[in-house]
Structure 1
Amino acid sequence: MRKVLSVLPRPVVAVICDRIRYFEHPVHAVPETYLRALHESADVMPLLMPVSPEMLDLSTLLATVDGVMLPGSPSNVAAERYGAEPLPEHTLKDEYRDATVFALLPQLIAQGIPLLAICRGFQELNVFFGGTLNRAVHERPDALDHREGDHDRPLTCWYEDRHIVELTPGGLLASLADTTTPRVNSLHHQGVETLGKGLHTEARAPDGLVEAFTAPDAPGFLLGLQWHPEMSLCHSPFARQIFTRYGDACRQRQQSRLLSGENNNEFEAHCAISV
């Protein structure tokens, strides 16, 4: 007799890398803070995804992962992606990440893969949906300075809470917070200029800058955040709830994937125990 138990492995979340140089070698890398946040607060298993379209097989990716994260980065989305003049030569860019992300997003979104996008990832999603970016938001009249400040300070000081965000009533983030104006960190010089088509504002900074959005018409979970909740888990229940909610979306995707007809054998292999 075989007893089937509802025991599933952790969902798998692919985390897009940056392409950097390490001892003159090209390296695909992600800061550990994102990986720990996914592991500890979303209860998923993170895997690094190289920024190399030729290395990625889309059908394999869609059949394997239960979520995708687009993390932050010091690099900037190429301005040509949203029809603006090229960024100054000294600006840090990552053409490999741009090429990979913008090639994958159409199918990731169409297939309902849960997406969590932070900082650069937030900006990538806005551009993908047809929005534009302001490359120096601190220069707007009456704007806050959203940059991280003096780099000579200890790194932890960069991520201190800097300002409130005003959550949209009835939105996803409003359902996760115990206040309508949680405090968040701020480490960006670029930001949303025009919001992409189909995106719904979830939070704004006091100066009106869009700080978070969802895509209500997308078939799966999609949340973009300009701030860095992964750096606030130790003191912010709101930050932890964001990752928990994302993990729940990935578990729902996993169950749907494993229960689908083409994956029934895989599901049984995971869940069946003979007694």
Structure 2
Amino acid sequence: MVWLPADHRLLGDHGHQMPFLLLGDKYARAVKVGAQAQPVMFPLADAEQIDELLAMVDGVMLTGSPSNVHPSHFHEEVADPSLPLDPDRDLLTLALVKACVHQGVPLLGICRGFQEINVALGGALYQRVHQVPGMNDHREPKSAPPDEQYAPRHAIRIAEGSAFAEWAQATTAQVNSLHGQGIARLAEGLEPLAWAPDGLIEAFAVKGARTFAYAMQWHPEWRCWDTPFYAAIFEAFGRACRQRRSLRLQASDLARSQPG
């Protein structure tokens, strides 16, 4: 089972909004089909429950989202009040990242999840990449249909000998691009493994991780089964999750076999 934390959104018509907990189908489907694992949600989970809930799962995937990490977590004011935030998700996921790294739980971060891992471990973000001198506009065409939004947008350069080079079977690849924010300062505990043409970090690994602990700024979940590079990422994540499941079951069997 793979834990996918939910987004918190207000939805409704005619001026009447109610809180909803949301998970995008494409993320759950990529876990189910690509990683061959069961996606699960824990509605209203909070940071105090992380250890209890991690003991029940084989991995964690931090998804992308329309919302951004609140910039107060990297000591900045909100640059654009019109952009959505999700402070409830921040409270859970920033603590969850640290717990996964500490406990050796397989961890995959995508887009917002990529940014969450960086911020949780002490990094900072550009709030508006397109306004940073020398940087490109990495946002998707909002009015385009999904197939066009998620189409390959630019090349990435991949670190030779890295897991990403193995998954891509190359040191370059074409990826989609649907983000307005990006890494301004990489956390010390992270190793950059892929870069956009403008130098923006596109992928990293957690240094010294005991298991799968990778994240990327692009969206490999989008029809991952149609792109060998994306499929390989989820296959590797699934293998790591099954390894953890095997260890959890062994520990459980051992505990039951102990007398009294």
State yes or no: 1:133 paired with 2:122: no
User: Hey, what's the Cα distance between the residues in 2 that align with 1:106 and 1:154?
Assistant: 36
Q: CA deviation at 1:104?
A: 2.4
Match of 1:63 among 55, 65, 80: 55
Q: Using the alignment, how far apart are the partners of 1:90 and 1:139 within structure 2?
A: 16
How far apart are the structure 1 equivalents of 2:161 and 2:135? 26
Q: Given the two structures, how large is their TM-score scaled by the length of structure 1?
A: 0.87
Contact kept, 8 Å, 2:95 with 2:120, in 1: the verdict is no
Q: Is the 8 A contact 1:166 1:182 kept in 2?
A: yes
CA–CA distance in structure 1, aligned partners of residues 85 and 106 of structure 2: 26
Q: Which has the higher contact order (CA 8 A, sep 6+)?
A: 1
Aligned to 2:19: 26
Q: How does 1:173-192 map to 2 (within 5 A)?
A: 173-192=164-183
Q: CA deviation at 1:172?
A: 1.1
Contact 1:111 1:220 in 2 (8 A): no
Contact 1:53 1:103 in 2 (8 A): no
Query: Which AA in structure 2 matches 1:73?
Result: S
Distance (Å, rounded) in 2 between the aligned partners of 1:168 and 1:113: 24
Question: Which SS does the other structure have where 1:229 is aligned?
Answer: coil
Shift of 1:78: 0.5
2:4 is aligned to: 15
Query: CA distance change for structure 1 residues 61 and 188 in 2, over 3 Å: closer, same or farther?
Result: same
Provide runs of 4+ in structure 1 moved above 4 Å. Answer: 265-268
Q: For 1:22 and 1:187, how far apart are their aligned partners in 2?
A: 23
Partner of 2:240: 249
Residues 1:43 and 2:72 are matched in the alignment:
no
TM-score by length of 2: 0.92
- The CA distance in 1 between the partners of 2:223 and 2:93, in whole Å, is 26
Provide, for residues 87-137 of structure 1, a one-character-per-residue CA deviation record: whole Å limited to 9, x for no partner.
432221001001111232222221111000000000000011111101111
Shift of 1:234: 4.5
Match for residue 222 of structure 2 among 221, 231, 246: 231
Aligned to 1:5: none
The residue type paired with residue 63 of structure 2 is: P
Indicate yes or no: 2:63 matched with 1:74.
Answer: no
Among residues 91, 100, 104, which one is paired with 2:92 in the alignment?
A: 100
Between the aligned partners of 2:249 and 2:67, the Cα distance in structure 1 is 36
2:178 partner letter: L
Question: Who is 1:7 aligned against?
Answer: none
- Aligned Cα RMSD in Å? 1.8
Report the Cα offset of residue 216 of structure 1.
Answer: 2.4
Aligned length: 253
- CA contact under 8 A between 1:202 and 1:211: conserved in structure 2? yes
For residues 176 and 216 of structure 2, the distance between their equivalents in structure 1, rounded to whole angstroms, comes to 11
Alignment of 1:144-155 (within 5 A): 144-149=136-141, 151-155=142-146
Preserved CA contact (<8 Å) 2:34 2:225: no
Unpaired runs of at least 5, structure 2: none
The yes-or-no answer on 1:258 pairing with 2:245 is no
Relative distance call for 1:178 and 1:52 in structure 2 (3 A) is: same
In 2, the alpha carbon distance for the partners of 1:158 and 1:206 equals 19
Q: Quote the offset at 1:51 in angstroms.
A: 4.9
What SS does structure 1 have at the residue aligned with 2:68? coil
Structure 1 residue 232, shift from structure 2 partner: 4.2
Q: Whose Rg is larger?
A: 1
**Cα drift, residue 52 of structure 1:** 4.0
C-alpha distance 267-35 of structure 1, shift in aligned 2 (>3 A): farther
Other structure's SS at 1:123 match? helix
Structure-2 residue corresponding to 1:201: 192
**Alignment CA distance shift 1:241-1:18 (3 Å):** same
SS in 2 for 1:253: helix
SS at match of 2:152: coil
Using the aligned pairs only, state the percent identity: 40
Q: Is the 8 A contact 2:138 2:178 kept in 1?
A: yes
Counterparts of 1:131 and 1:71 in 2: how far apart (Å)? 18
Over 3 Å counting, the alpha-carbon distance change for 1:72 and 1:51 in structure 2 is farther
